[in-house]
């Protein structure tokens, strides 16, 4: 398959995603911030510097066949502890059967940044559906149970409120209505 400007085989932005699990806290923090704010405009014609803020980019970011951002946002929020079978079946393959050495991100600010990115990705119906289908609620529910930081808990509660409420009560948000969460 040959890359075209409209349908590239690989998005350079994907090379950045591996650093969400880096041993360096600086790289992890920088990657979390880059995902939320500064996706390079060169990785796709319709993605600009504020990728999570632009609703048009959400399908490309979340698609398992394109950038597949969701596992990289969720992995730092998970522990090696296994999920119940009904929850595990929904999770992206990258989150199933994590090694016993896998640990949740230690920095609450990095966790909060990933939660804010997830919240921004819920501003579209397709984003909310993708998160429901891929077990995001199970991951953030466990995070809420295990993390003591009140800011993280508040971010989780905001995300749960959007993911779990009835769709008839959620209105689509236009790009000019999206504000920074933190």
Residue 123 Cα distances to 5, 56, 148, 179, angstroms: 27, 11, 27, 11
Q: What is the mean pLDDT of residues 15-40?
A: 73
The tens digit of pLDDT for each residue in 52-87 reads 777 778 888 888 888 888 999 999 999 999 988 888
pLDDT of residue 47: 42
pLDDT of residue 32: 80
Tokens linked to 105: 């991100």
Closest Cα to residue 117, out of 45, 51, 46? 51
Q: What is the mean pLDDT of residues 139-161?
A: 94
Tokens linked to 165: 């409420």
Contacts by 35-43, CB closer than 8 A, 24 or more apart: 35/69, 35/72, 35/73, 35/113, 35/114, 35/117, 36/113, 36/116, 36/117, 36/120, 39/13, 40/12, 40/13, 42/12, 43/11, 43/12, 43/13, 43/14
Domain boundaries, the chain: 19-166
CB 114 within 8 A of CB 152: no
- Which position has the higher pLDDT, 6 or 98? 98
pLDDT of residue 174: 54
CB 70 within 8 A of CB 114: no
User: In angstroms, rounded to a whole number, what is the distance separating the alpha carbons of residues 159 and 172?
Assistant: 15
Indicate the pTM of the whole model: 0.75
In this model, does residue 10 exceed pLDDT 90?
Answer: no
- Which position has the higher pLDDT, 97 or 150? 150
Q: Which band of pLDDT confidence, cut at 50, 70 and 90, is reported for residue 176? A: low
Burial class (CB in 10 A: 0-12, 13-18, 19+), 15: exposed
Q: Which band of pLDDT confidence, cut at 50, 70 and 90, is reported for residue 172? A: low
């Amino acid at each position: 398959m040959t890359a075209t400007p409209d349908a590239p085989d690989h998005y350079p932005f994907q090379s950045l995603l591996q650093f969400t699990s880096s041993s360096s806290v600086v790289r992890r923090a920088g990657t979390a911030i880059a995902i939320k704010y500064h996706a390079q405009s060169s990785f796709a014609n319709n993605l600009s510097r504020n990728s999570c803020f632009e609703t048009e980019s959400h399908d490309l970011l979340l698609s398992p066949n394109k950038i597949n951002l969701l596992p990289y946002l969720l992995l730092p929020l998970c522990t090696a502890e296994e999920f119940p079978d009904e929850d595990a079946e929904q999770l992206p393959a990258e989150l199933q059967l994590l090694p016993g050495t896998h640990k949740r991100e230690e920095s609450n600010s990095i966790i909060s940044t990933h939660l804010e990115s997830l919240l921004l990705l819920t501003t579209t119906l397709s984003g909310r559906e993708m998160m429901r289908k891929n077990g995001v609620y199970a991951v953030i529910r466990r995070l809420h149970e295990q993390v003591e930081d009140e800011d993280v808990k508040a971010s989780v509660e905001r995300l749960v409120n959007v993911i779990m409420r009835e769709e008839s009560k959620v209105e689509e948000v236009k790009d000019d209505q999206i504000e920074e969460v933190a």
